[in-house]
Amino acid sequence: MTTTILLLRSSYWIAAIADFAIAVLVWIPARMGVSEFTYPAGLASVIAFSWGVLLLVADRRPVERRWVLVPTVLVVSLITVVRTWFSVTGTIEFHVALFGFAIALLALMTYSYVRAGRQDPIEQSSAERT
């Protein structure tokens, strides 16, 4: 397995696991800083779970489906901005580890996407067959 494919698959799997964790945590209101489970939280849970499935589907043809990382980077960036905003306003507690995880994940996904785009087309087609 090439380094490019390993990076892409790591990007897909780490982001998918994070999405599945979000989907579950949304069902625990106390973990999300609210007092009860709400309809918008249920919708967020479904979206997070579905996005995790999308990332696992992309893992089956990692180079060909690297485009999935573009909207995923957007989503992770926006989630990070929202979480940081609510931390700054005092609604939720700020966690350096969660912020660091988001930045590291964004760096991994961006690097994986760019590296896969620079891969030699002949190497790409042979790598996709493995």
What does the alpha-carbon distance between residue 77 and residue 14 come to, in Å, rounded to a whole number? 15
Tens digit of each residue's pLDDT (9 = 90 or more) over 58-86: 999 999 999 999 999 999 999 999 999 99
What does the alpha-carbon distance between residue 65 and residue 42 come to, in Å, rounded to a whole number? 28
pLDDT class of 10 with cuts at 50, 70, 90: very high
Mean pLDDT within 3-24: 96
Tens digit of each residue's pLDDT (9 = 90 or more) over 14-59: 999 999 999 999 999 887 777 888 899 999 999 999 999 999 999 9
What does the alpha-carbon distance between residue 98 and residue 130 come to, in Å, rounded to a whole number? 34
Q: What pLDDT, on a 0 to 100 scale, did the predictor assign at position 57? A: 98
DSSP annotation of 32: G
